[in-house]
Structure 1
């Protein structure tokens, strides 16, 4: 699992007093930074590999300003050219959001998916989601 702590900002709070739902996808993406580094170690967008093809989020509980939030990211499945992530957003001891995101390892120059290299695949498999271990 990859884990990141985020401090909610006032600007992310909406008129009904909780963090706006549009903020959660941005936070989840921030939690994927270690994965992006695996595929594009230099963070150079000319060599970027991870292309998002699907994202689903279930909002389970409200999130509030002034209390840190933990973003947890697991690898759910590794395919030939794609990977599926399982992600959760926690505040205090409350699950606030959960979702699945699918990425393709993509060659921008050739405009085609590419097989996930074995060294990256091995690293990804070290972060597999396991319901029994939670």
Structure 2
């Protein structure tokens, strides 16, 4: 599991007093930064590998300004060229949002997907999701 702390910003807070729903996908993406580094160690877009294919978000509870939130990112499934993530955002140990994202390992220069290398696959295995987590 990858864990990322988020400090909510005033600009992310809407008129109702909670973090706006459009912010949640951005926070989920922030939780994927360590995963992106596995595929593109230099973080350059010229060598970028991770292309998102699908993302789903379930809003479970409100998130508020003034208290840090945590993004948890697990690897749910590893395919030949793609992987599925399971993600949660928690604040005060409350589940506030959960979702999934599917990425493909893609060679931008060649314009096609590539097999996930064994060294990356081994590292991904260390972050596998278990139904016993919640």
Show the counterpart of 1:123.
123
Show the counterpart of 2:41.
41
RMSD: 0.7
Tell me the CA shift for residue 60 of structure 1.
0.1
After TM superposition, where is structure 1 displaced by more than 4 Å over at least 4 residues in a row?
none
Show the counterpart of 2:4.
4
Q: Which runs of 5+ in 2 are unaligned?
A: none
Tell me the CA shift for residue 36 of structure 1.
0.4
Query: Equivalent residue of 2:65, what SS?
Result: coil
Show the counterpart of 2:70.
70
Q: Which runs of 5+ in 1 are unaligned?
A: none
1:91 maps to 2:91: yes
Using the size of structure 1 for normalisation, the TM-score is 0.98
Tell me the CA shift for residue 133 of structure 1.
4.2
Tell me the CA shift for residue 131 of structure 1.
1.6
Tell me the CA shift for residue 15 of structure 1.
0.7
Report how many aligned residue pairs link the two structures. Answer: 134
- 1:92-117 deviations in Å (ceiling 9; x for gaps): 02100000000000000110000000
Using the size of structure 2 for normalisation, the TM-score is 0.98
Q: For the residues of structure 1 that align with 2:5 and 2:133, how far apart are their CA atoms?
A: 21
